[in-house]
Amino acid sequence: MMSLFKKAEAHAAAKPDPKGTGYDLDIEADGDDPATAATVVNALYAKYKKNHERRKDYASLFSFLIFVGFYMSILFLQRSASEAYELTSTLKNNLIPEDTTMKGSAEVRDWIASVVTTTWQDARCGDGRCEAPFEYPEYGRFGCKADCNLLKTESQITPIQIDVYFNFSHPKGSVSPIDLMQDASWNLCPMEVDELIGPKKIFHGSDCYYETDQRFEQQVGHVVREIDDVPDGDWSVVVKKDIFLKVAGAVRPRFNVTVEAKNKRLLLAAHYGQIRRKYEVTTYQAIKTHLEKTNLTLAHEQLQLYLDITNNSLVEANATAATTAATANTTNPYDWDGNQTALVADMLLRRTMVNVSMAAGSLCASSFTGEQYLNVTDYAAVPITLYNATLFSSDGDLQTNGCSCVQGAELNLEPETYCYCYGPLAVNPDAVVDPNRVGVENVTVSFTVAKQRACSEVWRWLLLDTSTSWNQHLSLAWTANIAAQATAQSVADTEFTSVLTWLSQLSPVTFFEINQMKGTDVTRLDEASLTTLKNDNVVSERALDGNATVVANAIRTSYPYHEQLIALIDARLAVVNTPTLTTPLYASPPEFPFNFTYMVPTSLDIANALYPDDDLHAEVDVDIVEWNPAVLARQQYAFMTCNLLERAEQYVGTCVKPEDAVDPATNQPGPMVEDPEYANVDGRTSIYLTQTRFQKLCEGICVCEVDALDADGGDVVKKGCATIAGPGHFCTCEVCRVTAQFDNVEYPGNATAVAKRRLLGFGGGGGDGMSRAEFAARGDRWSLPHRRLLLENGPQRRRQGRNGRKLLQTDLDTILTAVQALAVKQSNIDTNVAAVQQAQAIANQDANDHHSDTALETIIKAGFDDLKKGTDSLSASLEEILAKQQQALAAAQESLAIQERTNALAESAERSIARLETAVQKQRESIQNAYKTGAFADVAQYVAIQEDAVITRERKAKENLLMNSPCQMKVLYYSFSLDNFNNTVPPVAYRERFVGLNNRVLAGMLIYVERKNLMKCTSSRFDDIDATCSGGRDVASYGVDPVFKLGTPLYVADYDNFETLTKVYNCSEFSNADVGISATYNDGADASVTGNHAPYCQELYNARDIPYGFRHKALPGYAAGFPFFFDINLSAEEAQRWIDVMNYGLMIDDVKTQKVTAQLIVYNAELGYFGNVMVFFEFSEGGKVRVTHSLNTIKVELYDTQADMSRLAMEIILVLGVAWSVYEELMDVVDTKKRTGTYGAYFSSVWNYVDVASITLHVVTLIMWFSYGFGLAANFAPDIHYDIYKNLEASAFVTNLKVPNQMVEMGAMFLEMKSLVEYLQLYMTFSGINIMLLLGRILKLMDFQPRLGVITHTLALATADLTHFFVIFAMIFMGYAFIGHVIFGYSSSVRIVFP
């Protein structure tokens, strides 16, 4: 058949159709004609070929359509537009500003604040999840019990006890103690890093344990706080406004305090029992000694008492007689010598009679040894009745009664001395011749009776006289015995009270804890009170000894004889008088200062035996931290010695020997001063410190102290030169070296010429020829240096730093003006808020009155809602502004109060010096007047009083200065650490920040500010209006840290001082020699620049020595500018603080800000998409802010799911299809070459260009996609958090970068995200272009079909006409556009830019 068709073709070619019809044969007529047959065959072949080509074209068209559809399906799956739109729409609704223009920087800051406030939300307690470490167990007023339980049940806690001691007493003439008390406060807060720049991480952050600072309600007292749930970490007891160091305290572990208090309580109870028994023994021994006195001892004691009384009577009588005689100008008639002689003779006679009557073995003594005499009591069976009841008494006259003692015996038969008494002659009728009175008539008593009378009267006097009898002596013994227990208890209680008093001073915490125990059960030692324990110690011991009760109850009725009482006492002493029962545990009697750490040897064994289950010897570390112990010890006022180097350097002393003293002015020995010791040598001088008066002065006013270590390695302060440098050294300082100190002292030249009193001179030995008037005229020179020192070093001067930096706007008028301005602003805001609220109320009322039509109810309600939302938003904004203004006002008022207090102290110091001047002058005049009137015993006393007055004056001047000069003006931090070591460390976690419901923020929100330089405009025509124009990029530091900016709510007055400022903004830390960074300072070359002298470096401080708020930091992908990063780990409160730093630090302003970029990256885990949001705020030259944005989403997890793997299979098939397309196109090129003989023929068709472009884009997009999927996207691994700032919770210098920090890494991540977005966007752009080319190829393939090819045919035919049309259209359009631009371009945004 094919050969037949070929023959037909050949025939047809050989025999053309004459008619040109191609079918010129009559088939019926020429049916048998071979030519006709060939023609028919040719026709059939042409038809066949046409149909075959058409089928081939249809196949090509539909296969290409399938390929395009397959390709677009892959693009659809790759793009997942519906998922991407869900994320994009959420981000757009939550982050993108609605307006494309803004009025100024305030609206930009408001947008940033709204995004941060909405996104930075803290975890909610009660949702059932304990999101550690941001949610944590409850303690104090912090934590979430609902989700995390209680801290003390979840962790090991160290219960602590905070003891705060305070004594606000202050000398008169200065600030009132009540004011000091009301100003001061304290709190327990997380310790701040470097004391100032922010707290370390304790669960809740930087808030103090107590919501409000704890105030003081008394001027003197002790506050105890027991806290059992303080978490581990670094803490500080923060004391505020304690300007004179009136507050002391300690933090102690509660368990140790309890153990120490229990041990001390048991030891004190044992100590009391021991001293009680010791004094009981002492009392019984005294009673026993009292009972064991002999008759002779008692008699001589009474005789000595009689002698003393009689002699005193004689002295008084003689003095009275002398006074009377002097008055009458007569001779003293009193016979003093005779009376003294008579008294001596009388006492000799009495002592002799006692000795003779009581001599052992004598007849007299043997007559009075019977029981009825020796144990006489009120109940004696045989009372003594003798001749005369008053013979031997103090009223009796032995001489009158004829008493005498002689040596030798009657008739020489008795060798001993004997005495006799005859008595009154008229009483006894007996008449016996007295051998000593031979020849004397009327002798009335025999000699034997006279001797008996002398003996009996002596014993009567001893036994029965009211003042000396055994009756009274024994009565005292029984009385003392009955009171023995009470006496011992009284003495022991008095001593024990002293011990407890000293314990309350030296260890008040232990004392407080001891008094907390009120239990009465002695078996429960943890609860029993000290009273219970000490009483039980005494009672228990007495219960074991029956003699104790017997002797305590012994009375004269039951035991009339002293031997019986002695026997009872001996029985008791035999039991109790042992070391184990009477050895005190501590020093007894006690002396202050009492040492509770010293115990009497072996005494601890006694206590341990009493309480065997308690380790009373255990050393317990009671104090975690202690501060200002001088308040506790009730020592001198702290202000007299605190911080003297800065407050009163003139009183800071050094220890020197007098002969080694050197005059600082001349560097020679001295200063030399006239020496009053050499009164007769004019001009004699000596080194001032060799003179006693200057030694006393220097020791009285100069302060010499050095820090040292004690024997145990503890810190101590050595005071006094004798302790510091050794004997012979004296403390000297600037004030005591003033040689004119004693110029006002008068030194009389002749100490013996009291009546004439010649004045040698003033202040020295030689005098200077001054008159008294001249002397009085210069009498107040001593006060001049005190006034000068007050001006130089007074409290009002110490507010500026050592390098002259003053507090920001510390001038009182400036502060007051600022406060008033803030008050006015606040009042205006209140008025505006009220006006808005009133307008809202009127609008609502009008709406209700005029819109009652129910048909419009929905519309009206919507309008009301919009109005209410707008008004509420405005009200909220105004209220927020009002709150900020109120905070600023409070800060300013606090600063004002501090300034007022400082000024008041300065004025008080000046007044004190003036009063002291007056008092010194009056004192000097009084001393001189007293000297003139002869009131002093001698000149030495007069001089000593004057010199003492000088020393007193200088001491008072020192006190006046220091009591009005605050020790310090800062917040005080007393830091300590709690660490139980075995607690679980909180996991490293990062706060979850979401945009919308579940789009988690990565790292945080970056705010990047680009600033422009301001320069003089090129045209100077209108310089008087404004001469500044922008030009170039500005990367210089700018702004201010609002913590040091008065008038902002962030301002902290306690930080605004030299020490704090230079510690927070430490230029030495800024320097880094390893990387070639060094701080630069003002070298003084430019006289107009007064700031930036060391330590205020130019990198951290502006020319006014105020710290910058923002510094340049380059980030990848950004032009030179200033980053400000809202970290995701900022809490909601901290984020608001950072917003305030941004606002009040003037990070974004209307003058120099050129562009602000805000970038945020989120991740949606459910969709697997990242979102990159960038909002651009461009500050135009026209005065508005243009707002643009870039919002893109990408998916980097491309081959994780089964669906992804199916798409990968499709992508592989697509690769094969593209490869086939490349092959076919190459084959087409080859076929064209074969047909035409040249490759150029292939490029003669436009459609071939479309094919090549489409296939090329196919190849490029495939390479891009797989590079993206298996390279860029697979390698994209952003961190959830980057460490950038040193401390997110810093209370100052919040933008201080951590060293090293991850700012660059964070910027690189943001840039990588941006690059991924741009890369994917480019891929999608190429894919879109390729789709357009594929549509062109489809049109090419449709050209074979008459109906489908109408479009291509029409375009081909109309190409020339369309080209000319568009040329004319473009010309006309451009003309009209230019007209619109010229006429309306200034007022319409759509005509601003000419196309």
- Pairing type for strands 999-1016 and 1153-1164 reads antiparallel
Q: Is the pLDDT confidence value at 782 over 60?
A: no
Q: Is the pLDDT confidence value at 1303 over 70?
A: yes
> Can you give the pLDDT at residue 995?
93
As to burial, measured by CB atoms within 10 angstroms (0-12 exposed, 13-18 middle, 19+ buried), residue 842 is exposed
CA atoms within 13 A on the CB side of 1251: 19
- What are the pLDDT digits (tens) for 985-1016? 667 788 899 999 899 999 999 999 999 998 88
Q: Is 558 helix (H, G, I), strand (E, B) or coil?
A: coil
How does residue 1170 score in pLDDT terms, banded at 50, 70 and 90?
very high
Lowest mean pLDDT among 410-419, 534-543, 635-644, 810-819: 810-819
Instruction: Check: CB of residue 819 under 8 Å from CB of residue 885.
Output: no
> At a CB cut-off of 8 Å and minimum separation 6, what does 1201 contact?
none
Q: Nearest CA to 400 among 375, 424, 427, 430?
A: 424
How does residue 367 score in pLDDT terms, banded at 50, 70 and 90?
low
Q: Is the pLDDT confidence value at 775 over 50?
A: no
Distance CA 647, CA 1021 (A): 58
Percent of the residues in the chain that have a pLDDT greater than 90, as a whole number: 16
Other Cβ atoms within 10 Å of 1235 Cβ, number: 10
Mean pLDDT in residue range 435-453: 59
Query: If you write DSSP's letter for every residue of 122-140 in order, what string do you get?
Result: PPPTTSS---TTTS--BBT
> Can you give the pLDDT at residue 1010?
94
How many residues does the structure list for the chain? 1395
How does residue 1368 score in pLDDT terms, banded at 50, 70 and 90?
very high
Q: Which residue has the higher pLDDT, 922 or 151?
A: 151
- What are the pLDDT digits (tens) for 591-625? 776 777 777 888 888 888 888 887 776 566 667 78
Return phi, psi of residue 1169, to 5°: -110, 145
Mean pLDDT in residue range 339-351: 85
Q: Is the pLDDT confidence value at 737 over 80?
A: yes
- What are the pLDDT digits (tens) for 1049-1089? 889 887 888 888 888 888 887 766 665 567 888 887 777 77
Mean pLDDT in residue range 1319-1337: 89
**H or E stretch including 239?**
strand 233-240
Distance CA 1105, CA 982 (A): 47
Return phi, psi of residue 588, to 5°: -145, 125
Average pLDDT, the chain: 77
Q: Is 1191 helix (H, G, I), strand (E, B) or coil?
A: strand
Lowest mean pLDDT among 529-543, 671-685, 968-982: 671-685
Token pair, residue 282, equals 């002492």
Q: Is the pLDDT confidence value at 429 over 50?
A: no
Distance CA 749, CA 519 (A): 75
Q: Which residue has the higher pLDDT, 88 or 795?
A: 88
Mean pLDDT in residue range 56-82: 87
> Can you give the pLDDT at residue 865?
59
Distance CA 71, CA 1157 (A): 38
Q: Is the pLDDT confidence value at 286 over 80?
A: yes
Mean pLDDT in residue range 902-930: 67
Q: Is the pLDDT confidence value at 394 over 60?
A: no
> Can you give the pLDDT at residue 1157?
95
Looking up tokens 């190409």, which residue turns up? 1359
Token pair, residue 944, equals 């000593």
Q: Which residue has the higher pLDDT, 291 or 594?
A: 291
Lowest mean pLDDT among 1-10, 69-78, 328-337, 1118-1127: 1-10
Q: In the 3-class helix/strand/coil scheme, how is 1100-1152 assigned residue by residue? A: CECCCCCECCECCCCCCCCCCCEEEEEECCCCHHHHHHHHHHHHHCCCCCCCC
Token pair, residue 1146, equals 């003037």
- What are the pLDDT digits (tens) for 149-187? 888 888 888 898 898 989 898 888 788 899 999 999 999
What is the pTM (predicted TM-score) of this model? 0.63
Mean pLDDT in residue range 1020-1049: 87
Lowest mean pLDDT among 377-391, 425-439, 913-927: 377-391
> Can you give the pLDDT at residue 961?
86
Q: Which residue has the higher pLDDT, 181 or 522?
A: 181
Mean pLDDT in residue range 722-733: 89
- What are the pLDDT digits (tens) for 1176-1202? 999 988 889 999 999 999 988 888 888
Token pair, residue 54, equals 């058409």
Instruction: Check: CB of residue 170 under 8 Å from CB of residue 901.
Output: no
> Can you give the pLDDT at residue 1143?
93
Token pair, residue 922, equals 């009056």
Token pair, residue 1139, equals 């917003």
Tell me which DSSP letter residue 985 carries. Answer: P
CA atoms within 13 A on the CB side of 1084: 1
Q: Which residue has the higher pLDDT, 414 or 270?
A: 270
Q: Is the pLDDT confidence value at 524 over 70?
A: yes
> Can you give the pLDDT at residue 1020?
83
Peptide bond into 560 cis (omega under 30): no
Q: Is 1016 helix (H, G, I), strand (E, B) or coil?
A: strand
Q: Is the pLDDT confidence value at 714 over 50?
A: yes
Q: Which residue has the higher pLDDT, 376 or 33?
A: 33
Task: Compute CA distances 452 → 8, 82, 403, 456, whole Å.
Answer: 205, 145, 11, 6
Peptide bond into 589 cis (omega under 30): yes
Q: Which segments of 879-970 are extended strands (E)?
A: none
Q: Is the pLDDT confidence value at 1240 over 90?
A: no
> At a CB cut-off of 8 Å and minimum separation 6, what does 747 contact?
676, 679, 759, 760, 761, 762, 763, 764, 765, 943
**H or E stretch including 995?**
strand 994-995
> Can you give the pLDDT at residue 864?
52
Looking up tokens 């080194």, which residue turns up? 687
Q: Is the pLDDT confidence value at 138 over 70?
A: yes
Task: Compute CA distances 11 → 6, 18, 27, 38, 50, whole Å.
Answer: 9, 14, 16, 6, 21
> Can you give the pLDDT at residue 774?
47
Q: Of 398-402, 596-600, 861-865, 1122-1126, where does the model show the most confidence?
A: 1122-1126
Query: If you write DSSP's letter for every residue of 377-440 in order, what string do you get?
Result: -TT-SS----S-TTSSSTT--TTTTT-EEESS-GGG---S-EEE----TTT-------GGGTT-
943-972 exposure pattern, b = at least 16 Cβ within 10 A, e = fewer:
bebbbebbbebbebbbbbbbbbbbbbbbbb
Mean pLDDT in residue range 511-535: 84
Q: Is the pLDDT confidence value at 1112 over 60?
A: yes
- What are the pLDDT digits (tens) for 90-136? 999 999 999 999 999 999 999 999 999 999 998 888 888 888 878 88
